Amino acid sequence: MSDLVQLTKDGEIAVITINNPPVNALSPGVPEGIKESVEASIQDDAVKGIVIIGGGRTFIAGADIKEFGKMTSGKKDRGVGFNPILKIVENCPKPIVAAIHGTAFGGGLETAMACHYRVAVPSALVGQPEVKLGIIPGAGGTQRLPRLAGVAVAAEMCAVGNPVPAPQAHEAGIVDKIIDGDLLEGAVAFARELVAAGKPPRKTCDQTDKISDQAANQKALAAVRDKVAKRARGLMAPGKAIDAVEAATKLPFEEGVAREQELFKECLHSDQSKAMIHVFFGERAVAKVPGIAKDHPKIEIKRAAVVGGGTMGGGITMNYANAGIPVLFKEISDEALEKGLSIIKKNYAATVSKGRLTQEQMDQRMALIEPTTSYDKFKEADIVVEAVFEEMALKKKVFAELEKVTRPDAILASNTSTLNIDEIASATSKPDYVIGHHFFSPANVMRVVEIVRGKQSSDTVIATSMAIAKKINKVGILVGNCRGFVGNRMFHCYQREAQFLLEEGARVEQVDKVLYDYGMAMGPLAVGDLAGLDVGWRIRKEYKHLEPEGIRQPLVVDQICEMGRFGQKTGAGWYKYEAGSRAPIPDPEVQKLIEETAAKAGIERREISDQEILERTLYALVNEGATILAEGIALRAVDIDMLYILGYGFPAQRGGPMWYADTVGLKNVYERVCEFEKQHGSLWAPSPLLKELAESGKTFADYDASKA
């Protein structure tokens, strides 16, 4: 018997326990262990019923995702495959009960559905999240789930991929019984009852009552198709998942399983699934900081404080309250405090009205927020996040005050988006406790935080920052201290090229459409209008003295700002907007301004292809990203990828800018960058790291592997 699967007996009930920590994935050895255990139980006359359960914290969380890479690269011996093993489970002449706690995801739920009955603890989750990896269920999930739960529920679960809590799964017919006490005891008792009642095995594949109404099936499938067309733009797997569920309604079970296999393989071999699997592991990789062990001592954050209750401070305060951490919310006046609080309340109330939060939960969260205009209680705070105006002198004043009013072991974090963390830290005598926590707007929604390491930020402060990011449901990405840090420094290059392209002949809506069609949440110019063009305008004015002479700068944006066109908030920016609408309308006035400005500057206008727009904007990201990597400002290419996907609307199915460059081939990217340098000058000087990787036939993924 495999070490990963144990077979024991509780009287006449065989208990098969999967022990493959941490999540009991179906790694090599686990399916074989299940098969051998079921076969041994069939042979054993003393066994009358069987329970399959997960050891440790969960049932089976799915196939082993690491194995997919081996399958697509041909390195994996396919063995007998999982479907035939599930057939052995389903055909077992003795009743088999799956006992679910933690998560039964993907191949885990597929295993449970091949069993004859399913019981679960109330906290368990079941789901077919494969689409989040760019694939579809590949072990009968799309065939068995509609038979248990009906087509509407199954299509939604397979095409959207969200987990379903056990009580809901019970209502839907996926779970037969909720066990309130000890799961194993309850499952064994359930199996005994089946045996005592002489219940024969109940095969899911034989059930057809929930899939026989073809008119209802078509209606349900059309509704989910419509939903994913709107929400899963550019993704291949959701549509294929629905096709597979449709096959369950039209084909006999075995043929449906074969059709599912074809669709599964199409997805598995696509670039999309490779990119999305990179993203799955990327989210976990960025949590690991080389040189700081997982168990490095951390400061316990029992109470937080936020200074500055404007756009960002309000959102950051909500993040702490959402995680159940009491938080002081400080402003300069009662009026400012009231304004900040009313926005927080409005945000929560909107979530309540959408049914995603109860009034009681909202009240609990509001009760955790303590508004104040003084530093009186700051001695209680374990961490302070500063979010006052973006002015160095003010930040330094606030940090000097904070040192006096907090305990010596309190972390002092700044949400600055552009200022030098070391200079801010110099206003205190404890720079080792100072760090950047750069949240993205809206801070209560966006899932990423750049954790900006100052020269002297201590390992404990870094480790605590990464842990608190996770606690407040964010992905913390550790970056170095430089102007714009990683995200905005790269984004500056991307937006710069978008604007140069306008001067050279592209139209505003053309540039945005190319990047939107590529999969970006919004085009670069529309993003400028959303964020407010005045923000960058003010920063450019403040830093003008630092700009090197003789370097080409975009010429139009500052003129647009001088016209009072700050973007959506003023009803006009790169586009114009009708009152109360966010829909961008191309504006001939802006087009005229661009053409006149280009003529004055002697820029020759020409037809710009969509391909050039894509390459100029994306390779600008990649080239700067490579420089940032070589400088050690980003730890790994995957950190940049995750930052872009979570913070800048970069499409997950492209894997992030650095992964995308790998898929294009770094030699190709490098050659285009060299051409752009010839055409456009030193802004396009290729990063030495890009050159080195391209010339040695390597990838950014290889670079990351060398850092591991």
Residues that bind ligand NAI (CB under 6 A): 307-313, 330-332, 336, 387-390, 398, 415-417, 438-439, 441
Cβ closest to ligand NAI, residue 17 vs residue 417 = 417
| Dihedral sign computed on CA atoms, order 607, 611, 613, 615 | negative
CB closer to ligand 3HC out of 265 and 576:
265
Q: Which among ligand NAI, ligand 3HC, none contacts residue 65 (Cβ within 5 to 8 A by kind)? A: ligand 3HC
Which residues lie across from 99 on neighbouring strands? 53, 119
User: CA 597, CA 611: separation in Å to the nearest integer?
Assistant: 24
Using DSSP, state whether 552 is helix, strand or coil: coil
476 binds ligand 3HC (CB under 6 A): no
How far apart CA 661 and CA 666 sit, in angstroms, is 6
Interaction of residue 138 with ligand 3HC, rule CB under 6 A: yes
Q: Which does 106 bind (CB under 5 to 8 A by kind): ligand 3HC, ligand NAI, none?
A: ligand 3HC
- Which is closer to ligand 3HC, CB of 113 or CB of 188? 113
Q: In angstroms, rounded to a whole number, what is the distance separating the alpha carbons of residues 294 and 326?
A: 26
Question: Is residue 655 near ligand 3HC by the rule CB under 6 A?
Answer: no
Asked if 65 touches ligand 3HC (CB under 6 A), the answer is yes
Q: State the virtual CA torsion across 273, 277, 280, 281 in degrees, nearest 10.
A: -170
Q: How far is the CB of 566 from ligand NAI (least distance, A)?
A: 13
Q: Does residue 22 belong to the site contacting ligand 3HC (CB under 6 A)?
A: yes
Q: Do residues 7 and 16 make contact, with C-beta atoms less than 8 angstroms apart?
A: yes
Shortest reach from residue 363's CB to ligand 3HC, in Å: 29
Q: Which is nearer to ligand NAI, 239 or 308 (CB)?
A: 308
Of 104 and 119, the one with the shorter C-beta distance to ligand 3HC is 104
Tokens representing residue 460 in the block: 């404990």
Q: Of these residues, 39, 67, 90, 130, which one is catalytic?
A: 130
Residue 25 or 633: which CB sits closer to ligand 3HC? 25
Considering the complex, what minimum distance in angstroms separates the CB of residue 66 from ligand 3HC? 5
Q: Which is nearer to ligand 3HC, 141 or 651 (CB)?
A: 141
**Where is 600: in which H helix or E strand?**
helix 588-600
- Beta carbons within 10 angstroms of residue 315's beta carbon: 23
**Type of residue numbered 302:** K
139 binds, among ligand NAI, ligand 3HC, none (CB under 5 to 8 A by kind): ligand 3HC
Q: Check binding of 106 to ligand 3HC (CB under 6 A).
A: yes
Residues near 84 by Cβ (< 8 Å), separated by ≥ 6? Answer: none
Smallest gap from Cβ 558 to ligand NAI, in A, equals 19
Identify what 137 binds: ligand 3HC, ligand NAI, none; CB under 5 to 8 Å per kind. ligand 3HC
Tell me the C-alpha distance between 655 and 659, whole Å: 5
129 binds ligand 3HC (CB under 6 A): yes
Looking at the Cβ atoms of 264 and 485, the one nearer to ligand 3HC is 264
Three-state secondary structure along 117-157? EEEECCCCEEECHHHHHCCCCCCCHHHHHHHHHCHHHHHHH
As measured in angstroms, the least distance from the Cβ of 225 to ligand 3HC is 21
CA angle centred on 328, ends 327 and 330, rounded to 5°: 140
DSSP class per residue in 232-278: STT-SHHHHHHHHHHHHHHS-HHHHHHHHHHHHHHHHTSHHHHHHHH
Q: Would you call 330 exposed, middle or buried from its count of C-beta atoms within 10 A (0-12, 13-18, 19+)? A: buried
- Using CB under 6 A as the binding rule, whether residue 107 contacts ligand 3HC is answered as yes
Residue 702's binding partner among ligand NAI, ligand 3HC, none (Cβ under 5 to 8 angstroms by kind) is none
Could you tell which of ligand NAI, ligand 3HC, none binds residue 655, using a CB distance below 5 to 8 A set by kind? none
Q: Which is nearer to ligand NAI, 190 or 439 (CB)?
A: 439
25 contributes a contact to ligand 3HC by CB under 6 A: yes
Member of 62, 239, 256, 567 binding ligand 3HC (CB under 6 A)? 62
Q: Which of 32, 39, 110, 391 is catalytic?
A: 110
* Residue 504 falls in the annotated catalytic set: no
Q: Which residue is nearest to ligand NAI (CB)?
A: 310
CB 158 within 8 A of CB 136: yes
Rounded to the nearest whole angstrom, what is the least distance from the CB of residue 237 to ligand 3HC in the complex? 11
Q: How many Å apart are CA 411 and CA 689, to the nearest integer?
A: 35
CA pair distance 706, 708, nearest whole angstrom: 6
The DSSP element (H or E) to which 7 belongs, if any, is strand 5-10
Instruction: Report how far residue 73's alpha carbon sits from residue 581's, in angstroms, rounded to the nearest whole number.
Output: 48
Nearer to ligand NAI, 244 or 318 (CB): 318
Choose the contact partner of 387 out of ligand 3HC, ligand NAI, none; CB within 5 to 8 A by kind. ligand NAI
Collapsing DSSP to helix, strand or coil, 435 comes out as: strand
Distance between CA atoms of 67 and 281, rounded to whole angstroms? Answer: 13
Within its chain, how far is the Cα of 674 from the centroid? 33
- Options 61, 159, 312, 462; binder of ligand 3HC; rule CB under 6 A: 61
Binding flag, residue 63, ligand 3HC (CB under 6 A): yes
Q: First and final CA of the chain: distance in angstroms?
A: 34
Is 110 among the residues known to form the active site?
Answer: yes
Examine residue 139 and tell whether it contacts ligand 3HC (CB under 6 A): yes
Q: Whose Cβ is closer to ligand NAI: residue 5's or residue 387's?
A: 387
Stretch touching ligand 3HC by CB under 6 A, among 103-111, 222-230, 408-416, 690-698: 103-111
Choose the one of ligand NAI, ligand 3HC, none that binds residue 186, judging by a C-beta under 5 to 8 angstroms depending on kind: none
> Containing H/E element for 188?
helix 183-196
704 near ligand 3HC, rule: CB under 6 A = no
From the list ligand NAI, ligand 3HC, none, partner contacted by residue 130 (C-beta under 5 to 8 A by kind): ligand 3HC
Residue 687 neighbours by CB under 8 Å, 6+ apart = 623, 624, 626, 627, 630
Q: Under the criterion CB under 6 A, does residue 137 sit at the interface with ligand 3HC?
A: yes
- Minimum CB separation of residue 307 from ligand NAI in Å reads 5
**Would you give the DSSP letter of residue 485?**
T
CA distance 175 to 444: 35
500, 525 in Cβ contact below 8 A? Answer: no
The residue ranges that bind ligand 3HC (CB under 6 A) are 22-23, 25, 61-66, 103, 105-107, 110, 129-130, 133, 137-139, 141, 284
Give the active site residues. Answer: 110, 130
